[in-house]
A and B are shown apart, each in its own frame.
Chain A
Amino acid sequence: MRAFSYERVKTPAEAAAAVARTPGARFLAGGTNLLDLMKLEIETPPHLVDVNSLALDKIETTSDGGLRIGALVRNTALAADERVRRDYGLLSRAILAGASTQLRNRATTAGNLVQRTRCPYFYDTNQACNKRVPGSGCSAMHGFSHQHAVIGTSNACIATFPSDMAVALRVFNATVETVRPNGATRVIPIADFHRLPGNTPHIDNVLEQAELITSVTLPKPLGGKQVYRKVRDRASYAFALISVGAVIQPDGTGRVALGGVAHKPWRVEAAEQHLPRGAAPVAEQLLAGAKPTHENEFKIALVQRTLASVLANSKKG
């Protein structure tokens, strides 16, 4: 790990200003992903701004009946919150499908959204990786790619965004609130928060340098049957091969998003009109234009079958 200086701050604006002052500085919240990457010198910040003392750890009801989740609310606390369990069960389920309790006890809402890919070639500093070293190439493309993205990929990168939580947030159309070093705030729809890799896969999301996430807001509840189904190489404590998050209403309409298939949570609203007709037409439109590798083409069929299972499950009481 490279040496770094460390400071604690008291307000979000102070935090953003502190990161802006030192080139390459980073915010430190739970640290469960950042410290891991720093040990491997994939991340080498010269300065860390510890934001854990900021008062961003509350979950509050909004005036339109939704929930505003503070950026520092730990994953365990969010999944266990009574209101989330009652009205946004898909979010609880998705969070609980990720990592281990030890990690969820420290990982934060904002940190979950800005975690890096778990592509093994990103993690192995002996390999070419355009996300880690822009322009160095992509070892995954012709390597072991059974975990990798099948849609929204580019010739530069086939990494996935690994969050389960974000799949649920995409179904609910959550928004991400931020503050910048000059104190200006903005609201980013979750659909626009993560980027596709294109020619700049080293940029995961639309946050600017030193822009701090302060909260994530859920619109009013959708009701319906809420299901998160994650398919992986072992039953627990593993990243998704694919996952399906769905909210299905009694009349068969609903919303669906996928994890493990793209550089961002994958949702195609137009495909959802087919939900009452079953999984096949929905999956076909969701993954239209997919470019799987030889090793991960199984994901196309797996999405359709998992969605069929989710829809069958949603009809049970």
Chain B
Amino acid sequence: MDDLRDIKITRRNLLISSALSATALAVPVPSLHAEEAPSGDTPPPVKSKVTLRVNGQAHELELDTRTTLLDALRENLHMTGTKKGCDHGQCGACTVIANGERINSCLTLALQNEGMEITTIEGLGTVNSLHPMQVAFIKHDGYQCGYCTPGQICSAVSALQEIKQNIPSLVTPDLAARPQVTAEEIRERMSGNICRCGAYSNILDAITEVAGRTI
């Protein structure tokens, strides 16, 4: 910590330097693409037909094989409730429910999910008929910017379901006993969903309330 004491950055200076580094980063991008585009060893895209069942409705699509489930939902089906955060399975913003199990939709190909029943935030509740977890998130202010919220809610609904299904977690004290709904269990089970606004304590309150109502 000693090294840091001499560093005095005002908020204004920090913003200026951030803007400068953003500019520096942005410049080389077009030239990088220009180098890559004509390269002969870049294989041409491969297309494949796939039927995705999302929120009870079947969609027939023809997709580049590289399309993740997340991109298919957002870019092809225009269901933008599911969010792209890190796109590497580290943040949980893209969490959806596939055949009753929550997954990171960024780390699975759309093709791998043929025949699965996908539920997104749009399938959990609507503006006129909110899911109890959505009601609880609103009541407890379980978000600030809201970007991680669809993933948090899909994850929270599944986490309570997993406790009901007798699936243990790292903090379950006795593997022979059924896991209980405790704050420690909910925190551990929600650790795959990052909230950079830091609404965690309110998210915990929201989930606890729903758990009390249904378990």
Contact A92:B168 (CB < 8 A) given known A5-B46, A31-B112, A236-B191: yes
- Interchain CB contact under 8 A, A52 and B66: no
A97 contacts B by Cβ under 8 Å? yes
Tell me which residues across on chain A come within 8 A of B211, comparing CB atoms: none
Shortest Cβ distance from A50 into B: residue? B112
Bound form: Cα–Cα A28–B176 in Å: 33
Listed stretches B15-23, B101-109, B131-139; interface member: B101-109
Choice from A3, A35, A89, A102 contacting B95 with Cβ under 8 Å: A102
**A31 touching B192 by the CB < 8 A rule?**
no
Could you tell me the distance between the alpha carbons of A31 and B107 in the complex, rounded to whole angstroms? 6
Interface of A is mostly: mixed
Bound form: Cα–Cα A35–B106 in Å:
9
Query: B201 near A: Cβ within 8 Å?
Result: no
Inter-chain contact A4/B168, CB cutoff 8 Å: no
Q: Is the CB of A35 within 8 A of B108?
A: yes
Nearest chain A CB to B110 CB, angstrom units: 11
Q: Mark B168-208, 1 if CB is under 8 A from A, else 0.
A: 11101001100000000001110111000000000000000
Chain B CB within 8 A of A100 CB: yes
The chain A residue sitting closest to B88, CB to CB, is A36
Would you list which residues of chain B between 107 and 155 have a CB under 8 Å from chain A?
107-109, 111-112, 155
A3 pairs with B45, CB closer than 8 A: yes
Judge if B64 is at the interface, Cβ distance under 8 Å.
yes
**Residue A313 lies at the interface, judged by CB distance under 8 Å to chain B:** no
Whether B73 is near chain A, meaning CB under 8 Å from some CB there, is no
Q: Is the CB of A106 within 8 A of B192?
A: no
Tally chain A residues at the interface, Cβ within 8 Å: 37
- A61-102 CB contacts (< 8 Å) to partner B: 76, 79-80, 85-86, 89, 92-93, 96-97, 99-102
The reply on A1 being an interface residue by CB < 8 A is: yes
A36 adjacent to B111 (CB under 8 Å): no
Chain A nearest CB from B214 CB (Å) reads 18
Instruction: Tell me whether A76 and B101 are in contact (CB under 8 A).
Output: yes
Render A20-46 as a binary contact track against B, CB cut-off 8 A, 1 for contact: 000000001011100110010000001
Say if the beta carbon of B162 comes within 8 Å of chain A.
yes
Is B55 an interface residue, CB under 8 A from the partner? no
- Contacting pair B104 A101 (CB below 8 A): no
| A237 interfacial by beta-carbon distance below 8 Å | yes
Q: Is B43 an interface residue (CB 8 A)?
A: yes
Is B58 an interface position by the 8 A CB rule?
no
Tell me whether B76 is interfacial, beta carbon within 8 Å.
no
Bound Cα distance A28, B109 (Å):
10
* A3 CB contact (under 8 Å) in B65, B155, B166: B65
* Chain A residue nearest in CB terms to B154: A102
Q: Nearest chain A CB to B109's CB is how many angstroms away? A: 7
Q: Are B168 and A102 in contact (CB under 8 A)?
A: no
For the complex formed, measure the closest distance between the CB of A55 and the CB atoms of chain B, giving whole angstroms: 16
Is B107 in contact with A4, judged by CB distance below 8 angstroms? no
Distance A54 CA – B166 CA, assembled complex (angstroms):
27
The answer to whether the Cβ of A182 comes within 8 Å of any Cβ in the partner chain is no
With A31-B107, A236-B170: A101-B158 Cβ-Cβ less than 8 Å: yes
A138 vs chain B, min Cβ distance (A): 23
Cα A97 to Cα B191 with chains together (Å)? 11
Determine the chain A residues whose CB is within 8 A of the CB of B43 once the complex forms.
2-4, 46
Provide the residues of chain B in CB contact with A36, threshold 8 Å: 88-89, 107
Residue of B nearest to A84 (CB): B175
B151 to chain A: closest residue by CB? A102
Q: Is A3 a contact of B48 with CB atoms below 8 Å?
A: no
Q: Note all chain B residues with C-beta closer than 8 A to A102.
A: 89, 92, 95, 102-104, 155, 192
Interface contact B168-A79, CB-CB below 8 Å: yes
In the complex, chain B residues whose CB is within 8 Å of the CB of A236: 170, 187-188, 191
User: By the criterion CB–CB under 8 Å, are A6 and B111 in contact?
Assistant: yes
Min C-beta distance of B138 to chain A, whole Å: 24
B178 to chain A, nearest CB (A): 11
Name the distance in Å between B36's Cβ and chain A's nearest Cβ.
Answer: 10
Is B89 touching A32 in the complex (CB atoms < 8 A)? yes
When C-beta atoms are compared, the residue in chain B nearest to A237 turns out to be B191
Choice from B46, B66, B155, B176 contacting A85 with Cβ under 8 Å:
B176
A-B contact pairs, 6 of them (CB 8 A): A3-B44, A3-B45, A36-B88, A92-B175, A96-B170, A102-B192
8 further contact pairs, Cβ within 8 A, besides A35-B108, A236-B188: A6-B111, A32-B89, A76-B167, A85-B168, A96-B169, A101-B158, A101-B162, A237-B191
8 smallest beta-carbon distances between A and B, as pairs: A100-B192, A236-B191, A85-B175, A237-B191, A105-B101, A96-B170, A3-B43, A80-B167
